[in-house]
Chain A
Amino acid sequence: MTNWEPILLANVNRPNSEKIETYMRYGGYEALRKALKMTPDQVTAEVKLSELRGRGGAGFPTGVKWGFMPKDAPVKYLAVNTDEGEPGTFKDRLIVERDPHTILEGVIIAAYAIGAHRAFVYIRGEFFLGVKRWIKAISDAYQKGFLGKNILGSGFDLDVSVHRGAGAYICGEETAMIESLEGKRGVPRKKPPFPAQKGLLGQPTIVQNCETLANVPHIILRGGRWYASIGTEKSRGMKIFCVSGNVNSPGNFELPLGTPLKEIIYEHAGGVRRGRDIKAIIPGGSSTPFLTAEKINTPMGFETLQAAGSALGTGAIIVMDETTDMVEVVRHVTRFYVHESCGYCFPCRIGGKRMLSSLEKLAGGKGSMRDIEDLEYVAKGMYGRTFCPLGTGMAEPVLSALRLFRPEFEKKTTKN
């Protein structure tokens, strides 16, 4: 094993970990002091050097995104994505509830780097404790002079406010989130223009995931080069892996990117329940394709998972043992996306319902080979042809299950 220590989850198990005093006792807000003595461009350059990529699912290089911010725009915004809803993912909720300052310090540094004086936290409506923790963290930061006017005498001003979503997964998608922040239905916008060109209320806006922002203070304190020394060639730094499903010790594990799936499942998550074999693994949240057990040595990185036929996504690993009914798995996952489709484009709105009805027939033992064909036909038709990635993310698990576990679907049919 390479040398590593947790940075993102270093505090979560300390008593009173959510308090600003606890955070500061262990070096919190030192990175902010350091960042405010640098120029905004130097901060961005350090983040570029770290090769940090977004942890919200899309994996876009963070420093590069900050560089897209138009220098001369008078008003710029930062939006903090706390909408965590991708099935299997439960890392952002943990940090927000147990150590919100680790994100907030990243928010302030990011806002300074991009020249934003307003930041908006968009949090899932279901996260009651998270809302409280965000509000308390922000008000404590104001009291200590880390927010508001002339932060730590630097001349930099920043205000942060918290906005609750109201039960719509699609509002985690950055442009839908912006629509929702504007008080509208969460229907995604066409890109381009990208939010960094024209975002919230028409102003240049950077949207960033909580885990992404939590990395930023460490990059500033210890340097981008240090951060980039962790991980693999295209996947730098630490990552929180959420492990759930049929494992003995599910939970969040912070490890370097590139840690093999096998190590995460067997050494950190306690192995498969009842000593069973693995049938399938979802490596990056429910919209990433399944992997079979023979891919267990794959390193958890962007490029390595892609080569294995899947994706890193949010780093949410769902383990299914040999007894798992894959038709039921796909039915559950599809039902989620059908429920969460915003309804704007028809391949997703209609195609989803049609796939779900085939899956329900098959799962209920009332399906035929025609239903399998129809399922595949619709999934192929949707793939890559939906307005936003949600619809394609819905077709992805269906296609991958049919590719890898087709006989299971066929066994469920009653007639031909």
Chain B
Amino acid sequence: MNTRKEFKSPVGGALVDPAKQSMMLAALYIAQEQNGYLTEEAIEQVAKRLGMTPGDVYSTASFYSLFRMKPVGRYVIQVCEGISCYLNDGAERVADYVSKKLGIKLGETTPDGRFTLETVQCLASCGTAPAMRVNDQLYENLSPAIIDDILERLMGEV
């Protein structure tokens, strides 16, 4: 086991049940689905189900970049800022292009709540760089024309 001291959180006098705790990431994904981010209530719900404190749950959730603590747009655009994308006219160049097009900076959401722009680490698409992700969809071999197409399609979506 660990040499680091393990802090067990006593809930109702009982220790954390490892079998329950191992459901944490799956539970957080489900909790996040409802609002696109983890609300305070969602964290409390997860804590209750897993027999832990909300603080324990928050501590774990905040470690992982795919769990969000703030609302995001309907489409979250994640531009890869990795080295192979950089070498293929990507990374900052793609992020800048999208940023100008949408009129928002990195980390921001458009006022209509449609798009959030973020960067992401290497997406394992380095052979088809530059790459970005929009929600569940991966886009590769990006060029300005392809990005225009993607954004226009998403802008038109009802």
Contact = CB atoms under 8 A, between A and B. Distances in A.
Contact of A250 (B120, B124, B126, B136): B126
Contacts of B34: none
Given A328-B86, A333-B83, A166 B121 contact: no
A167 B63 CA distance: 9
A374 B28 CA distance: 41
Interface stretch (A183-191, A304-312, A350-358): A183-191
Interface of B: 1-4, 18, 21-26, 28-29, 50, 59-60, 63-67, 81-84, 86-88, 91, 120-129, 133, 136-138
A214 interface: no
A183 B25 CA distance: 6
Interface residues of A, number: 59
Contacts of B50: 183
Interface string A238-269: 00001111100011100000000000000000
A190 B133 contact: no
Interface in A107-129: 124-129
Given A90-B125, A169-B121, A250-B129, A183 B83 contact: no
B122 A87 contact: yes
A44 interface: no
B63 A186 contact: yes
B92 to A, nearest CB: 9
A87 B121 contact: yes
Given A128-B138, A244-B88, A316-B126, 15 more contacts: A86-B122, A87-B121, A88-B126, A90-B127, A93-B125, A163-B25, A189-B2, A244-B84, A245-B83, A245-B126, A318-B83, A318-B84, A318-B87, A332-B83, A336-B81
Contacts of B122: 85-89, 336
Most buried by A among B2, B91, B122: B122
Nearest to B135: A128
Contacts of A165: 25, 64
